[in-house]
Amino acid sequence: MKNIVFSLLIAAVLSIAVSPALAGTETYDSKFGKFSVSVPDGWKGQAIPDGCAVQTADGNNCITIQFMPVNKNIPLKDAAKMFADGAKITDIKENVDKGAVFLDGKKDGIPAGVLTVETGELFMAVLLLGEKRDVMMDIFKSVKQ
């Protein structure tokens, strides 16, 4: 029993050590209300229209998060494709799930993706650009409306 508890304790410490440290939570305004997002150490956030952008200091990794009303005439998958086209993402592989669409590809040889998620009357459009996907997904998962 001691070995199991010790192993779990080591695993917990290691998972904390390899997780990005969060610098703090930042709050942003959009015309759809306030929302907050956790920003890791070494990353900086800034407001953009109806959302925010969070990026590394060197700008090599960036996630943008924007909110907009759900348009019942445009399926979520089509909205994701419009964002991917606008961001000039190529080599797209799609992953469609109930209430979410993820288009994964490249922009100028750099990993890029678009995630659209329905959140009630709004949907969230998320653009990921760069290699640090795990950190960007942690940022996305931290969004609170």
Q: Is a pLDDT exceeding 50 seen at residue 106?
A: yes
pLDDT of 121 reads 87
Q: Are 46 and 53 in contact, with CB atoms under 8 Å apart?
A: yes
Q: Are 101 and 76 in contact, with CB atoms under 8 Å apart?
A: yes
Domain contains 135: yes
Domain contains 84: yes
**Cα torsion for 50, 54, 57, 62, to the nearest 10°?**
-100
pLDDT of 4 reads 35
Domain contains 80: yes
Average pLDDT, the chain: 85
Q: Is a pLDDT exceeding 50 seen at residue 84?
A: yes
Q: Are 112 and 89 in contact, with CB atoms under 8 Å apart?
A: yes
Alpha helical stretches, state H, 63-124: 76-86
pLDDT of 145 reads 87
pLDDT of 23 reads 66
CATH of residue 111's domain is 3.40.1000.10
Structure tokens at 51: 């959302």
Q: Are 119 and 113 in contact, with CB atoms under 8 Å apart?
A: no
Specify the pTM. Answer: 0.81
